[in-house]
Amino acid sequence: MPKTLAMAEMSELSPSDFLRELHCHGVRRVSRVTYRKNRNTIWSLTQRGTVLNVHEIFRLAPPDILRAFAVITKQGGLSSRTAEAASQAISDWPVLNAAIAAARAEYDERRATASCDGVGSVTHCCATPEQRAYVRALYSHFNRTRFGGVLPEGIPVRLSRRMKSALGHMLPGEHKGRRYVVEVALNVDLLLVGNGAERVDTLLHEMAHAADYLLTGARGHGRSWREWAVTVGCTPEMTYARPVRRRKRRRDLVTRVPPLPHALRRHKA
């Protein structure tokens, strides 16, 4: 991404510099900072709050943004209004917004160029045919009962065995002024026994992103997304706080097909 003059004048922070600044502000739990290049995720805390992953543009973070990160990391996430206000200040940083907009435009253009109709191919799905039918039935059920049918039925829904900390994502796209959803993906671990509530919450979370993007053009966890989350009944927060059961080894296959919700079984009957 080309730098503007204003960006060029900023001093760059290495990950160790960023971590040192956090420690100077009293942060003790975080032991590592990583820079990531992406289009949607601004920051995340992983490894039980010891690793802070941030968008690569934060190598140019000014003191007020570093202080905001210190507030969030001290509290281990968005556990208070103070932390939420700090997160909002980070999201509103103009340099961040410009970097994400440029990354999205570059990605959308690359994807559109590679596809004759502007809708690129979906990445690998690890689901069995039975699992694919299951997640499709869940999507259709919730679209009908909680979203009022506003979402297109044809949005691809896939399972991924490559996600590590993430439970799901919604991949937005745009071509010649037309917004579309490339895919909704769920971590295959969500199909394990004991993850029923987490599975439903994650799917609704990503469907809320899809509805928010298609109807308003908004991406991320802003006010309009939170309104959707409350309306459809999923946790209106960026991350899911409850523990999720995981595969013992990432190479392990998950073939389980959970039972459909009672309401959906009655509808199918």
When pLDDT is averaged across residues 132-158 and rounded to a whole number, the result is 94
Residue 48 clears pLDDT 70, i.e. is over it: yes
* Rounded CA separation 105/223 (Å): 23
Q: pLDDT at position 187, please?
A: 95
Domain 129-268 carries which CATH code? 3.30.2010.10
Alpha-carbon distances, residue 224 vs 80, 202, 211, 213, 236 (angstroms): 20, 17, 10, 9, 11
pLDDT attached to residue 106:
67
Using one digit for the tens of pLDDT, what is the confidence trace for 109-143? 555 544 433 344 445 789 999 999 999 999 999 99
- For 233-244, what is the mean pLDDT? 84
Residue pLDDT, tens place only, 77-117: 887 889 889 988 998 898 888 887 777 766 665 555 444 33
Domain spans of the chain? 8-99, 129-268
Could you tell me the strand order of the sheet in which 51-55 lies? 32-36, 51-55, 43-46
Q: Do domains 8-99 and 129-268 have the same CATH topology?
A: yes
CATH number for the segment(s) 8-99: 3.30.2010
pLDDT for the residue numbered 265: 58
Q: What is the pLDDT of residue 103?
A: 73
pLDDT tens column, 173-204: 887 778 999 899 999 999 999 999 999 999 99
Average pLDDT over residues 47-57: 89
**Span 249-266, mean pLDDT?**
82
- Mean pLDDT calculated for residue range 52-75: 93
Residue 256 has a pLDDT of: 95
Q: What is the pLDDT of residue 45?
A: 87
